[in-house]
Amino acid sequence: MGTHADQELDVTGLQCPMPLLKAKLALNALAPAQILKVIATDPGSERDFHAFVQQSRHQILAFEKHAETYSYWIQKG
């Protein structure tokens, strides 16, 4: 993945709603247009993160799904 991340957040092992809550806190600390990479293992995070960006000004620039991990590159709106 060639998308640069300004900050990386590892929330592996955490279950809903913690991955999204920790991502929201991390996004709050970033400047607009900066990118947060989130690595999660909770299958529910896929639904949660896509719903979250639809209700916010943030944008998922890239998403990767592997055997046990879900990676999101979220640009702060």
CB-based contacts of 52, cutoff 8 Å, min separation 6 = 20, 23, 24, 58
Eight-state DSSP code of residue 1: -
The one catalytic residue in 10, 14, 16, 24 is: 16
**Helix H segments across the chain?**
18-29, 44-54
Active site residue 3: no
Active site residues: 16
